[in-house]
Chains A and B, each alone.
Chain A
Amino acid sequence: MPFRLPPPTRPLLRAQLRSRPANGHVAFIPQCRKLVFEFCNRWPSSANTRTFLTNHLEEFARANPHVEIVVKQRTQKEPIVRGFYLNDRDKVIALNGFEVTGIAKKVQLLLDSSGAKIKPLKRRTVESTTEAARGIWSGLHVEEPFKI
């Protein structure tokens, strides 16, 4: 088979030209798009949720204008809050058993989250898609190549 010279320059592959997601690099888009509160009008387990909705929901809505907030009936069931995110995932948190401040904390947790699945983060300190600025060491491009 005749020997073919390698091309003089690195070929530009189509996959290199696609953009890598980097939310927050220059522009930040909040990931939570919608919060749905479901509660029962009658059951006592929804009492704290009802208090929260009447007293504190409006200030959360004003502080987060990018989030659509929906309040729904869920008769004869425990109260829940659902958060919908831009990656098509949703988080559901049950609100029975919490005081009003506890409910506020759970709502803040939903607003702070990005919707990504919870994964072990202890060892993932820096997640990078940038190639190394200093380049990768090559044993063939030194003054004295290593001799076996």
Chain B
Amino acid sequence: MAFLFRPLRQVAGRALHTQTTSPASTPATALSLIRSQPSHYVVASVAGRKYTLAPRDLLTVPRLKDVNVGDVLSLSEIHEVGSREFTIRGNPIIPPENVKVQATVVEHTKGRMEVIFKKKRRKGYQRTIKHKQTYTRLRIGPIDVVESHS
């Protein structure tokens, strides 16, 4: 839809998706470049699975047993932080002192009722199992790219 409005005569070099810039010299420079941009995303592992997360997302994971509704969890395995033009990829994770993301437990629910029907024909064996999978829903908080003063 952006092309419907009058396009700018000069296209800034950075904005082209195909053009790559050289990687920043220090992690601090890289973090400050990312910090300078308005919106970020994060690729983090939660409960053993990787998700691409943004602030205000609602993440549904299998039920976390030792957590209460309203608790705030901080994501410890962040693999990637990015913004519109820059990305930092961790090896395998970005140290937690550089990027901080928190998630609040919003609810513990169950999914829809699933009916599992098993039958072996002509043997008189049939079983009906009713099952509701348990889930925990987490709300992702703001992504904090920490400014290092070194």
Contact = CB atoms under 8 A, between A and B. Distances in A.
B109 interface: yes
A20 B3 contact: no
Contacts of A124: 60
A128 B54 contact: yes
Contacts of B21: none
Given A24-B104, A112-B107, A134 B18 contact: no
A65 interface: no
**Band of interface residues on B:** 35 or more
Interface residues of A, number: 45
B69 A121 contact: no
Given A23-B139, A28-B70, A143 B18 contact: yes
Contact of B59 (A10, A28, A113, A125): A125
B109 A113 contact: yes
Interface stretch (A1-9, A33-41, A69-77): A1-9
A132 interface: yes
Interface in B46-80: 51-61, 69-70
Nearest to B63: A112
Nearest to A122: B111
A116 B58 CA distance: 14
Contact of A25 (B11, B15, B37, B141): B141
Contacts of B106: 23-24, 28, 114
Contacts of A118: 109-113, 132
Nearest to A7: B5
A22 B69 CA distance: 15
Contacts of A112: 69, 107-109
A5 B6 contact: yes
Contact of A126 (B2, B58, B70, B109): B58
A142 B16 contact: yes
A118 B15 CA distance: 43
Nearest to A5: B6
Given A7-B5, A125-B51, A141-B16, A133 B39 contact: yes
Interface in B105-136: 105-113, 132-133, 135
A137 B141 contact: no
Interface of A: 5-10, 20, 22-26, 28, 30-31, 109, 111-114, 116, 118-122, 124-135, 137-138, 140-144
Interface of B: 2-6, 11, 15-19, 37, 39-41, 51-61, 69-70, 82-84, 104-113, 132-133, 135, 137-142
Given A24-B104, A118-B113, A137-B17, 9 more contacts: A22-B56, A22-B139, A25-B139, A25-B140, A118-B109, A133-B41, A133-B54, A134-B84, A141-B16
